[in-house]
Chains A and B, each alone.
Chain A
Amino acid sequence: MSKNNRSVPEGTRDIIFSEARLERDISERLAEVFEAAGFSEIRTPAVEYYDVFDYPGQAISQDEMYKLTDSSGNLIVMRADNTTPVARIAATRLQSERLPLMIRYCQNVWRISRGYSGRRSEILQSGAELIGAGGMKGDLICLSLALDALRSLGAEYKLELGCVGYYDALIRSLPLTDEEKSEVRRYVDAKNTVKLAAIGRKLRGSGTAEGFDRIRRLPLLYGGGEIFKEAEALAHDNEGALGALGYLRGLYDALCSAGFGDRVIIDLGMVHSIDYYTGTLFAGYIEGAGEPVLRGGRYDNLIDNFGRENIPAIGFAINVSLAADALRSSADAEAAPDVIIHFGGEDIKEALKQADMLRRDGLCAALSCFDALAQTIDFARERGIKKAIIIENGDARTVEVGKEAE
């Protein structure tokens, strides 16, 4: 077997200089947005017991998790998702805190990606969770925070709302098996009108046909506020669906009246994680990213799994790694220091004094590791450092790199 000591595992990468700076900039901007809104940071272990992530409708499936064993032979996994550990903490160490809890985090998740797909398996997520606040107010607080977070990224953005209840009410009234339902859901989520049409043809003549025709419309129910009218007509005799739709419309109208009208869109065919989410769900898009950079929703049942019942919660995470990929421009080179300080070994005190002065003025000052002045200048020229301070026998003089020969 060849030795893998010169590369990194599939889906991971070294994040170097300007790349690391960009990820840090984005994380810091998001942290500011969250902290300014009253959300406080938590950090959780990089590894958790597998059992933490193993619950009905689990967010991440077992085959996507990196698994290890601890010293007692227990199965542990690399943190596969951030919301689940937050829910665990809400039910345990924070169980006697006054609700609502306003929690933010900025840490990695690890998910095994398919070989050679170009997807990352190590993803930096920055997110916020509002725990113990149900209903429309909690939704609006979380959605407006999501909009602020998207805006802070500095690219063209949209926030998309969906809900579990509308689809759920429409599909529940159909006599399909669980297997058929999960197939239908997959096709609705992929906007696969072709496959849905094929199922529709199979059902033709049965009592289910008319109900299924409504499901077939769902993938096309996305866009602005204009879709509510069609969605209402489609579900005119289904109280459950109308109720869910009315609620979503309330959220949409409230966000519009708050000035977000041109930023918010609707997709009633967004049904991917409806075993996990219980109400409002949403996704955020920015230009340049081929996948949603933000995902979130209401998960009122999750905390039950950890023994604390009836705690409504809503939250979202921004994929910082993906946002950084989208925002990175090829021109982004790591900035060179402003000044390099060349000094003889006996002048270290003066060199540090000079550096300190420059740094206090907000400049980036690097000390030269070279003994020969020519080497320092050569290095500065190659790195694009414009200015050099040369200290000889306690005296400092400044030269412009490139003009020092004249």
Chain B
Amino acid sequence: MIRMALTKGRIEEKALEMLTACGYDLSSLSPENRGRKLLFRAENAPLEIVLAKSADVITYVSHGVCDCGIVGEDTIMESDGRFYELLDLNFSRCRFALAGPVGKYQSFISGYGHKVIASKYPAVTKSYFEGRGFDVEIVKIEGSVELAPILGLSDAIVDIVETGSTLKANGLEVWEEVADVSARLIANTVSVKMKKSDLDSLMSKLRTQIK
């Protein structure tokens, strides 16, 4: 039996499509069957699916209560649990970007003034700027990060960008690409060893469906 944690929401939809295409019968998860349950069994294979919030997928997998999980690279970059990152499933693709007010990029990177970055992802932001040898102050924002530079709290933001239309509507533009992110298959370090054949077979099925 393999227990897999799936990130609720957009990743879940695509992942379920992918798993179904791999031949797993996940009809118990269909909207008409699922009700308010969070734990499901495949009808035709020893696979159990748990629905969880993205950061919790990592917590469950690190602790080994789930053998593997599907979660976005953005969440992985922000966390520091111990697990194996095995496959890029190549969906839910978007990017982390440094963005700021249109036309202000030059003054941002050339000035020596104190710089403030707002982000939902302080760890990603910190490691990005550390890697560049740039000393910035990071302010954690929970909701629409685009507000921070508009309101004058920060000089720039680090955030997930998909189409860029939210940035544009708020007078912001992408300044630098921080990282490419997409959905990943992660696994518990012990499960990979103790349940090698089960996980190997799951992985080889998933590989055939990666687009």
Question: In the bound complex, do residue B87 and residue A292 qualify as a contact, i.e. CB atoms below 8 Å apart?
Answer: no
- Asked if B128 is at the interface of the complex by the 8 Å CB criterion, the answer is no
Question: In the bound complex, do residue A290 and residue B85 qualify as a contact, i.e. CB atoms below 8 Å apart?
Answer: no
Do A195 and B85 form a contact, CB below 8 Å, given A114-B80, A118-B63, A223-B196?
yes
* Residues of B within 8 A of A (CB-CB), count: 24
Q: Tell me the chain A residues, 214-248 only, with Cβ under 8 Å from chain B.
A: 219, 222-223
Closest residue of B by beta carbon distance from A193 = B86
- Number of contacts between A and B (CB, 8 Å)? 55
- Asked if A400 is at the interface of the complex by the 8 Å CB criterion, the answer is no
Most buried by B among A192, A219, A267: A192
- Minimum C-beta distance from A235 to chain B (A): 22
* Chain A residues within an 8 Å CB radius of B190: 285, 289-292
Closest residue of A by beta carbon distance from B65 = A290
- Minimum C-beta distance from B89 to chain A (A): 10
Select which of B62, B85, B194 is within 8 A of A194 by beta carbon: B85
Select which of B59, B65, B81, B85 is within 8 A of A191 by beta carbon: B85
C-alpha gap A325/B80 in the complex (Å): 22
- Asked if B114 is at the interface of the complex by the 8 Å CB criterion, the answer is no
Do A287 and B194 form a contact, CB below 8 Å, given A114-B80, A118-B63?
yes
* Chain B residues within an 8 Å CB radius of A193: 85-87
C-alpha gap A117/B62 in the complex (Å): 10
* Chain B residues within an 8 Å CB radius of A194: 73, 85, 87-88, 184
Question: In the bound complex, do residue B84 and residue A267 qualify as a contact, i.e. CB atoms below 8 Å apart?
Answer: no
Do A285 and B194 form a contact, CB below 8 Å, given A290-B65, A290-B188, A291-B82?
yes
- Asked if A265 is at the interface of the complex by the 8 Å CB criterion, the answer is yes
C-alpha gap A291/B82 in the complex (Å): 9
C-alpha gap A287/B195 in the complex (Å): 10
Question: In the bound complex, do residue A190 and residue B85 qualify as a contact, i.e. CB atoms below 8 Å apart?
Answer: yes
Q: Tell me the chain B residues, 60-89 only, with Cβ under 8 Å from chain A.
A: 62-65, 73, 80-88
- Minimum C-beta distance from A291 to chain B (A): 6
Question: In the bound complex, do residue B188 and residue A191 qualify as a contact, i.e. CB atoms below 8 Å apart?
Answer: no
Closest residue of B by beta carbon distance from A265 = B193
- Asked if B189 is at the interface of the complex by the 8 Å CB criterion, the answer is yes
Question: In the bound complex, do residue A191 and residue B86 qualify as a contact, i.e. CB atoms below 8 Å apart?
Answer: yes
Given contacts A156-B194, A160-B193, A193-B85, 16 further A-B contacts (CB under 8 A): A190-B83, A190-B85, A191-B84, A194-B73, A194-B85, A194-B87, A194-B184, A195-B85, A219-B84, A223-B196, A289-B64, A290-B64, A290-B188, A290-B190, A291-B189, A292-B189
22 A-B contact pairs sorted by A residue (CB < 8 Å): A117-B59, A117-B81, A190-B83, A190-B84, A191-B84, A191-B86, A192-B85, A193-B85, A194-B73, A194-B88, A195-B85, A222-B192, A265-B193, A267-B193, A285-B190, A289-B64, A289-B190, A290-B65, A291-B64, A291-B189, A291-B190, A292-B189
